[in-house]
Amino acid sequence: MSGQILLSEYAEGSSYNKYIEIYNYSTESVNLYPDYVLASCTNGCVDGSNFYINEFPEGAVIAPGDVYVIAATQADQSILTQADFTFQYCCGNGDDAYALMLACCTGDVFDEANALDIIGNAATWEEGVGWDVAGIEEATKNHTLVRKSSVLTGNVGNWSMSAGTNVDNSEWFVLEQDDFSNLGFHNYDNSGATNVLGCTCVEADNYNSEANIDDGSCVVYGECSDPVALNYSGELCGLIQLSFEDENCEYEVEFFSGCYWCDLAINYFDFNYAITASNMTLAITDFSNLINGDVVGVFYINDDGYIACGGSAIFEDQQMAIAAWGDEPSTSFIDGFEGGDSFIFLIFRDGVVYETSTVLNNSAPFTLTYGDNNFGQVTGLSISNEFIENCELPLGVGEDCDEFFDMSEYESTTKEVIITYDLLGRNANGYNKSGIYFVKYNDGSVEKRCFSNH
């Protein structure tokens, strides 16, 4: 019974992305319950304390040639999909030893002599320090360990031998953090043949047909990893770690209107914004195409299809961040981003507004759209072309942005409303419907007012 299973994979990933995989290399099904336990030693098991016996759930069985995955309850869904059993504190922080033991023979304290297979060494424990594997320092922290297919049995508690000192004498391959491409299966070759590392994804441009262990090197060119793109291809290769190079993403074109030349235009905009009760931070880490004094603004599209500024900042020859302000529910009009809104970045330089091409980081914890208290990261920002204005001028305003009402008949010492008109220039005196209106006073001034049931 003690020679049927071994630890085939271990991951100490980011956040809660942690798991341990067990492989059954025998020709018979193995009952994990009630025959085996996964014992753990946390914080060095000082004075016999912090020794935990984690029992498998009733009915836990591994079929011949199959694996059994134990994962943290809050792990990424890609891990949970493969998991057979979860518990909250699986599977340590890289400085905790884990061992497969027979349920009958665990002892009262953590003892490597009782282990069928083990990761870590309680005798050499140091707080916050992982164990070296294959010559890589602290490899049990922030890495994924995959057992070589040539390893025939567990290490019976001899972690030093199992970890080795270099790639050749170690029983493990050390992969980068959050590389889960080998999860859910294990290559086992009882002939002791040599393992071949490489890209095992047939859809990748560097697929290696001879590789039997994926090393996280898979890459595709000209595809798109942005989930909001029309040609998103981020699901290529499944769980196998994949890099995207020379991405070619296609997006749905958003049509919007704006005018920054004439402040009397219905769709006038500038780089001023309203400070509201909520916002999210957008860090601009690529500023190679900016020059000192550029004003970078982030805009949203309002209900009328016009752009409005939700935040801006002046570039000062260093990395910058913009607060994108959210809509204030207490107002009667939209004055900021709403949840799920995308971002439009414009640059104001030397009196001219320019459109941009941007690339946003879509990896956690960053988001591609607005959400209160979220974080965004702009990893690519370049000027594409000059913003083409489409000024919508109300009746009474000429193409030179001058008003041509004859005000002599309305001369008065008191400021009074003489006419209210809508977007089409129709007289709207006495209207109480939602919409945008222009109010003309007897002193020649015009105010744009927006009334909305919000």
Q: What is the dihedral of CA 9, 12, 13, 16, to 10 degrees?
A: 110
Q: Are residues 201 and 188 in the same domain?
A: no
User: What's the CA gap between 45 and 53, in Å, rounded?
Assistant: 12
Tell me the pairing of strands 320-325 and 279-284.
antiparallel
CB atoms within 10 A of CB 312: 21
Give the whole-angstrom CA distance, residue 59 versus residue 45: 30
- Those residues whose C-beta lies under 8 Å from the C-beta of residue 394, and which sit 6 or more positions away, are 264, 265, 266, 421, 423, 425, 438
Residues 300 and 314 occupy one common structural domain = yes
Report CA-CA distances (Å) from 113 to 46, 91, 118, 157: 17, 21, 10, 6
φ/ψ of 43, rounded to 5, equals: 55, 35
Residues 137 and 206 in one domain: no
Summarize the chain as % helix, strand, coil (round to 5).
Answer: 5, 35, 60
CATH of the domain at 82: 2.60.40
Residue 64 located in a structural domain: yes
- How high is the pLDDT of residue 427? 63
Which of 108, 92, 100 is CA-nearest to residue 44? 92
- Tell me the C-alpha distance between 281 and 103, whole Å: 51
Residues 180 and 208 in one domain: no
Residues 97, 63: one domain? yes
Position 99 scores a pLDDT of: 93
Q: Which amino acid is at 385?
A: N
Measured in degrees and rounded to the nearest 5, phi and psi for residue 79 equal -80, -45
- Of 170, 192, 214, the residue that ends a domain is 192
Residue at 257 is within a domain? no
Contact criterion met (CB below 8 Å) for 406 and 397 = no
Asked, as a colleague might, if the bond just before 91 is cis with ω within 30 of 0, I would say: yes
Instruction: Kindly report the backbone phi and psi dihedral angles of residue 399, in degrees, each rounded to the nearest multiple of 5, phi listed first.
Output: -65, -20
Residue 392 lies in a domain: no
pLDDT tens, residue order, the chain (454 aa): 345 899 999 999 999 999 999 999 988 899 999 999 999 988 787 766 788 899 999 999 999 999 999 999 999 999 999 999 998 888 889 999 999 999 888 888 888 888 999 999 988 999 999 999 999 999 999 999 999 988 989 999 999 999 999 998 999 999 999 999 899 999 887 645 567 788 989 999 999 988 877 888 899 998 888 777 788 888 888 778 888 888 887 766 566 789 998 988 889 999 999 999 999 999 999 999 999 999 999 999 988 889 999 999 999 988 899 999 999 988 888 899 999 899 999 999 999 999 998 988 877 789 889 999 999 999 999 998 899 888 888 877 777 887 654 444 444 456 777 777 665 556 666 655 666 667 777 666 777 666 655 4
Cβ atoms of 10 and 119 closer than 8 Å: yes
Say if residue 204 is in the same domain as residue 188.
no
Domain count, the chain: 4
Distance, in Å, from the CA atom of 290 to the CA atom of 279, rounded to the nearest integer, reads: 24
Q: Check whether residue 205 and residue 178 sit in a common domain.
A: no
295 close to 309: Cβ distance less than 8 angstroms:
no
Residue 276: what pLDDT?
93
For residues 55 and 187, state if they share a domain. yes
Asked if residue 123 belongs to a domain, the reply is yes
Position 403 in a domain: no
Taking the C-alpha atoms of residue 364 and residue 233, their distance in angstroms, rounded to an integer, is 18
Q: Find out whether 229 and 249 touch, Cβ atoms under 8 Å.
A: yes
Closest CA to 449 of 422, 425, 427, 414: 422
Domain that holds residue 291: 279-386
- Between CA 265 and CA 9 the distance in angstroms is 64
Q: What are phi and psi of 402, to 5 degrees?
A: -100, 145
Name the one residue in this structure whose structure tokens are 């790639």: 167
d(C-alpha 144, C-alpha 132), whole Å: 13
Both structure tokens of 211: 């590789």
Residues 181 and 214 in one domain: no
Task: Enter the DSSP assignment of 75.
Answer: -
Q: Which residues contact 238 (CB under 8 A, 6 or more apart)?
A: 201
User: Which pLDDT score, from 0 to 100, does residue 406 have?
Assistant: 47
- Is 214 found in the same domain as 337? no
Closest to 341 in 3D by CA, of 375, 369, 303, 378: 369
Residue 266: inside a domain: no
Query: Strands 67-72 and 18-24, how do they pair?
Result: antiparallel
Is the residue at 302 inside a domain?
Answer: yes
**Residues 76 and 200 grouped into a single domain:** no
Residues 172 and 207 in one domain: no
Answer whether residue 87 is part of any domain: yes
* Whole-prediction pTM: 0.52
Task: Kindly report, residue by residue over 208-219, the tens digit of the pLDDT.
Answer: 988 877 888 899
